[in-house]
Amino acid sequence: MSIRCTEEDAVTGITSQDIERCAALIRPHIRRTPVVAIDGTEFGLAANPLTLKLELLQYAGAFKTRGAFANLLTREVPAAGVVAASGGNHGAATAYAAMKLGKPARIYVPSVSSPAKVQRIRDYGADLVIEGDRYADALAASEIWARQSGAMPVPAFDQRETIMGQATLGLELEQQAPDIDTVLVAVGGGGLIAGIAAWFAGRIKVVGVEPAAAPTLTRALAAGHPVDAEAGGIAADSLAPRRVGDRVYPIAEKYVRSTVLVSDDAIASAQETLWRTLRIVAEPGGAAAFSALLSGAYKPEAGERIAVVLSGGNTAAVDFARTR
193-223 pLDDT, tens digit each: 999 999 999 999 999 999 999 999 999 999 9
CA torsion 12-202-58-259 (nearest 10°) is 100
Mean pLDDT for the chain?
91
The share of the chain scoring above pLDDT 70, in percent, equals 92
Domains assigned to the chain: 9-62+159-323 (3.40.50.1100), 65-153 (3.40.50.1100)
Place 9 in a pLDDT band, splitting at 50, 70 and 90: low
Dist. CA 4–CA 200, nearest whole Å = 11
CA pair distance 114, 88, nearest whole angstrom: 7
**Rg of the chain's alpha carbons, rounded to an integer?**
18
User: Which of 59-68, 99-108, 238-247, 303-312 is the least confident region?
Assistant: 238-247
Beta pairing class for 205-211 and 258-262: parallel
> Whole-model pTM?
0.91
**Model confidence at 11, in pLDDT bands (50, 70, 90)?**
low
pLDDT reported for residue 236: 64
pLDDT tens-place string over residues 255-293:
999 999 999 999 999 999 999 999 999 999 999 999 999
What region does 257 belong to: left with phi over 0, alpha with psi -120 to 50, or beta?
alpha
